[in-house]
Amino acid sequence: MTTTDTHLDPGAVRSVLSGERPPRPGPVSTSGTFWWRAMLKIKHVPEQLFDVTAFPVIFLLMFTYLFGGALAGSTGAYLQQVLPGILVMTVTWITLYTGLNLNRDIHRGIDDRFRSLPIWRPATIVGPLLADAVRYTLASLVILGLGLALGFRPGAGVVGVVQALALLLVFSFALSWIWTLLGLVVRSDNALLGIGNMVMFPVTFVSNVFVAPETLPGWLEGFVQVNPVTTLVSAMRGLIHGGTDVGGDVLAVLLISAGLVAVFGPLTMLAYRRRS
Closest CA to 181 of 195, 202, 170: 195
Q: Is the pLDDT of residue 5 over 70?
A: no
Q: For residue 9, name the pLDDT band (cuts at 50, 70, 90).
A: confident
Query: Tens of pLDDT along 207-221?
Result: 998 888 888 888 888
- Higher local confidence (pLDDT), 199 or 20: 199
Confidence class for position 18, pLDDT limits 50, 70, 90: low
pLDDT of residue 1: 46
pLDDT at 100 > cutoff 80: yes
Q: Per residue in 31-67, pLDDT tens? A: 888 888 888 877 777 776 777 778 888 888 888 888 8
* Interval 185-213 mean pLDDT: 89
Instruction: Compute CA distances 205 → 89, 101, 132, 227, whole Å.
Output: 8, 25, 23, 11
